[in-house]
Amino acid sequence: MALKGKHALITGSSRGIGRGIALKLAENGVKIAIHYYQNEGAAADTLARVRDRGSDGLVVQADVSRPEEISRMFRKVQAEFGELDIFVSNARPEAAAFFQPPMEITLKQWDVAFDSQAKAFLVGVREAVPLMAKGGRILAITYAEGSRTGGLQPWVGMGSAKAALESLVRYFAVALARRGITVNAISPGWTEDSVLNTLPQQAQDLIRSWHTRGWTPTGRLGTPEDVGNVVMLFCLEQAGWITGQVIYADGGASLMNPEVPSEIQLAQGT
């Protein structure tokens, strides 16, 4: 296995997309630092699954919106691993902490979004780089549709924070290129076992139906394993020439034209 013996820290990896990334890397021999904020039981379960896949790791706790806690988390990772090859910034707060439209969102909710995304990534990368050698991989999980559109009004805080995060990816990619460290962002589409499952059931059903009817050309929502597969590919040595990019992993949903009903678009392709 090309990644065997490497070390990764994945924030928000106790469940959902982060867990999917952790398990895929573990299958390829990577040791995983599993981060959680509140749900220690879920983190312990993820570690057990990592071990079931023949790898190992540790559990670390931190509120990534607080820089001092990010620093503490990295100190623990350094003490356990001694080095770091892969850093994935994935953690986000629950939707209730920021999900308000632009005329109603409070400054506290706005800060929650930015502190957990752009600021957390800024601090995390600066903590990760001293532990990395040439060939290091830094990845951020974003939602690029939310950072460039405005229709889902209550997403304004997180969408703006993700836009800043994606900008940081480009700046860090240039800053770290001479060190042989790549920095990229992965933008999943709607994914099962993720923020989708925190929405009211009616909203979940509408989104699933919309995508399976054709808005996602492949006819299904993504899974955490799908995202893990993409992250794993970017961690390979052969991906070393790709940096500063936002990669859509969405089954083709971002290719659809929002001005034309999906039934018409799909009819032209069959």
* CATH code at position 37: 3.40.50.720
- The residue among 257 and 156 whose pLDDT is bigger is 156
* Residue 264 included in any domain: no
Is the residue at 267 inside a domain? no
Q: What is the pLDDT of residue 269?
A: 57
Residue 270 maps to a domain? no
In the numeric block, which tokens belong to residue 205? 């059903």
Structure tokens at 106: 């409070």
For residues 211 and 221, what is the distance between their CA atoms, to the nearest angstrom? 7
Alpha carbons 221 and 150: distance in angstroms, whole number: 22
Percent of the chain with pLDDT over 90: 73
Domain presence at residue 214: no
Q: What is the pLDDT of residue 250?
A: 92
Question: CA-CA distance, 118 to 116, in Å (whole number)?
Answer: 7
List pLDDT tens digits, range 59-77.
999 999 999 999 999 999 9
Highest mean pLDDT among 39-48, 89-98, 211-220, 249-258: 39-48
Decide if 175 is inside a domain: yes
Confidence at residue 208, expressed as pLDDT on a 0 to 100 scale: 84
Residue 197 pLDDT exceeds 80: no
Closest-CA residue to 87 (of 196, 188, 177, 6):
6
Tens digit of pLDDT for each residue in 85-126? 999 999 999 888 998 999 999 999 999 999 999 999 999 999
Q: Which residue has the tokens 């993409």?
A: 230
User: What does the alpha-carbon distance between residue 235 and residue 221 come to, in Å, rounded to a whole number?
Assistant: 24
Question: pTM for this structure?
Answer: 0.94
Encode pLDDT of 15-51 as tens digits: 999 999 999 999 999 999 999 999 999 999 999 999 9
Q: How many domains does the chain have?
A: 1
The pLDDT of residue 88 is 98
List the end-to-end C-alpha distance of the chain, in Å, as a whole number. 39
Examine residue 68 and state whether it is found in any structural domain, yes or no: yes
Neighbours of 124 (CB within 10 A): 25
Q: In 10 A of CB 209, how many CB atoms?
A: 10
- Per-residue pLDDT, 91: 96
Domain of residue 124 covers: 7-200+223-257
Residue 2 falls within a domain, yes or no? no
